[in-house]
Amino acid sequence: MTQVLDAQHEAARGIGAWVAAHRGTLVVVAATLVVAMGFGGLGLITVFMGPMEAELGWSRSDTSLAYVFSTAGMAIGGLWWGRLSDRMDVRLLLALGAAGMVGSLLAMSALRSLPLFYFAHLVYGGLGFSVLYSPLLSTSGEWFPERRGLVMGIVTARNTAATAQACEPWW
């Protein structure tokens, strides 16, 4: 029995050593995935625009304005949360940003009022995605100080590639 437990402990130590050796890479991969999901949520309005207009009777300009509120929330929130990310534990900011994104997306799925829909988009940008974006970029760059620009490019470039994949082919 002790031989089995010793083997399990050795395996756990081996995995722990691998994680410790590749922690920076794992941080960059996780940051890339989270930022990609944030940008994906930001673009959801384009996917559901037609069905929402048909079901709720909103015009194209009504639904398009929601994207403006999301990006305005990101711009304003980015200034605030980026400054706080230098002073706070990143894990707390990530939890707050994830809760803001999930809560606003859940609210958007149930709303039938246009002003509340706009407010949910403002919360998504200002209390959701902007809380994640700046801390994730700075944290991933700190793991590779000699390649900070490359790491930030990797984290942000994946999102444009994902956007291009989601678009309909032009041909």
Quick: pLDDT tens for 93-104: 989 999 999 999
- Whether pLDDT at 50 is above 60: yes
Task: Give a yes or no: residue 7 inside a domain.
Answer: no
Q: In the chain, how many domains are there?
A: 1
pLDDT in tens, 82-140: 888 888 888 899 899 999 999 999 999 898 999 999 999 999 999 999 998 888 888 88
Q: Output DSSP code: residue 168.
A: P
Query: 73-106: buried (b, 16+ CB within 10 Å) or exposed (e) per residue?
Result: bbeebbeebbeebeeeeeeebbebbbebbeebee
In a domain, 37, yes or no: yes
Average pLDDT over residues 12-37: 76
User: How many angstroms separate the Cα of 161 from the Cα of each of 61, 153, 166, 168?
Assistant: 27, 12, 9, 13
Q: Is 10 within a domain?
A: no
Structural domain including 45 reads 23-166
pTM for the complete prediction? 0.77
Residue 2 lies in a domain: no
- For residue 154, being part of any structural domain is answered with yes
Residue 75 above 80 pLDDT? Answer: yes
3 state SS of 100: helix
Mean pLDDT of 23-38: 84
In a domain? residue 14: no
Residue 135 domain flag = yes
> Is residue 12 in a domain?
no
pLDDT at 5: 47
- Cβ atoms within 10 A of the Cβ of 24, count? 14
